[in-house]
Amino acid sequence: MKEQNVQVDDSLGVQSLMKLFLLKATTLVIVSAVLSTLSGCTTAPPPPSEKQLMTTRMGDTSAVEVIDMRSVMRNNILTAQVTVKNWGPPPNPKTGEKQPDSKLYGYRFKWLNAGGMVVFTDEAWKPLTLTRDQSADLVGVAPTPDATAFRFEINQYK
């Protein structure tokens, strides 16, 4: 009887040890999975889109989004079209009311040749009159047939 008791006691100890080991292993696996997922989330941000790369912003122009960009060769001259929309400043946090955009923006195009060099002197900044929730198609025509690419520049001047 004594031997049997001892054997039972031994078997119980091994089982509890096994259970403890399994529990620890499971916890370890779950923790490592969670950590790997989190670390996956905090990796480098997605690369900038082509629209972002072709847009240069100066001042606070975060309310104006570049929605679309396209270009076409017309009579051997590059014509670019940029569609922008003014979403306006964020709503009042207390009342939730939308606020009008009192900022004044300007824009211009920069024209580049196949080698990425600027082909003409800087264009003048043109005033961009965009009220809240208004969008506009801004068209620019290259100054010479040498221009094969463009960049869009937007600034806040007041």
Partner 1 sequence: MKTYPKICLTTFAVLVTGCASSPPPQQSQIYIPPPTIVKYGDSQSIETVTADFGSTDLQTITETMVRSMLQSKTIQNSKSAPTVTLAEVKNQTGESINTRMITEKVRTQLLKSGQVRFAVSSNEMQSQVDELKRQNQSGMYRNDGISKTGMMEGAKYRITGTISTIVKQNRDMKDVFYNFTLNLVNNQTGLIEWAEEKEIRKTVTR
Asked if residue 157 lies in contact with residue 106, where contact means CB atoms within 8 angstroms, the answer is yes
Residue with tokens 């965009």: 130
Q: Is 58 in the site for partner 1 (CB under 8 A)?
A: no
Pick between residue 61 and residue 108 the one whose CB is nearest to partner 1. Answer: 108
Figure out which of the listed residues 143, 148, 149, 151 binds partner 1, where binding follows CB under 8 A: 143
Pick between residue 11 and residue 56 the one whose CB is nearest to partner 1. Answer: 56
The size of the chain, in residues, is 158
Report 80-139 residues binding partner 1 (CB under 8 A). Answer: 104, 106, 108, 120, 122-127
Asked if residue 140 lies in contact with residue 153, where contact means CB atoms within 8 angstroms, the answer is no
Asked if residue 82 lies in contact with residue 142, where contact means CB atoms within 8 angstroms, the answer is no
Q: Tell me which stretch binds partner 1 (CB under 8 A): 6-14, 30-38, 72-80, 85-93.
A: 72-80
Asked if residue 32 lies in contact with residue 100, where contact means CB atoms within 8 angstroms, the answer is no
| Interface residues toward partner 1, by CB under 8 A | 74-77, 79, 104, 106, 108, 120, 122-127, 140-145, 157-158
